[in-house]
Structure 1
Amino acid sequence: MRLRVEFTTEPFDLDEAPEHAVVAREAVETAGLDAVDVGPFGNTAEGGADAVPAAADALLRRTLTAGAPRVSLQINVVGEDGR
C-alpha cells in the first residue's frame, strides 16, 4: 500500500522557519520517503505502508518536543506500492 502524508506545524513564520518546522522537514526528508514537497503552508510526502506511519510518529514526537503547539496531520491511501 502506498500512502501520502500531509502535515503542517503551527505557528509558522514566513520570514524565518521556526524550530518545529525545521525538525518536521528533517523528519520526512530522512525517513526514506519519496515525493517530498515542503512549503510554508503545507507539506506532503509519499511512501510505503510501514514508512509513512513511522515518519509520522517521528514527525509528531520531534515537532512537539521542538515547541509546536499545533500539528495537523492527514494520511491517505494513494495506491499500491510499485504503481
Structure 2
Amino acid sequence: MKRLRVEFTTEPFDLDEAPEHAVVARDVVQNAALDAVDVGPFGNTAEGPSEQVLAAVTELLRRSLDAGATRVSLQVNVIGEDEE
C-alpha cells in the first residue's frame, strides 16, 4: 500500500483568529488515522496509508467548504510504500 503526504491550506486567511473552516480542516486530520500530523498557521501536513489520507482529504474538503472556505489548496505526494 502506498504512503501519502498531504499538505493543505484553507482560505480566506485571518491572521487574528483561526477561521472556522481552518479549525474544521485541522480537526479532520488530527482525528483521522494518520501519522505525523503537523498543523500551523500557514499550512498543514499529514502522512499515512493512502486509503486513510484519501478519506481524510475527502472529509476535509467537504467540511471546510461547508464551514465557509472559499479556496482549499492541497498537494498530495506519494512518499513510499508501507511494509507488509
TM (normalized to structure 1)? Answer: 0.95
Which residue does the alignment assign to 2:5?
A: 4
Q: CA RMSD in A?
A: 0.8
What runs of 5+ residues in structure 2 fail to find an aligned partner?
none
- Give the aligned partner of residue 31 of structure 2: 30
**Residue 14 of structure 1: CA displacement?**
2.0
SS at match of 1:28: helix
Report runs of 4+ in structure 1 exceeding 3 Å deviation: none
* SS of residue matched to 2:23: helix
**Paired residue secondary structure (1:50):** helix
2:54 maps to a residue whose letter is: P
Q: CA deviation at 1:49?
A: 1.1
| Structure 2 counterpart of 1:42 | 43
Work out the number of aligned pairs and report it: 82
Alpha-carbon deviations, 1:10-49, whole Å to 9, x = none? 1121221000000000010111111001111111000001
Amino acid at match of 1:25: R
Percent identity at matched positions? 76
Letter paired with 1:72: S
- Does 2:29 correspond to 1:18? no
Q: Deviations over 1:34-81 (max 9, x none)?
A: 100111111100000100000000000000000000000111000111
Give the TM-score normalised by the residue count of structure 2. 0.94
Match of residue 66 from structure 2:
65
Q: What amino acid maps onto 2:62 in structure 1?
A: R
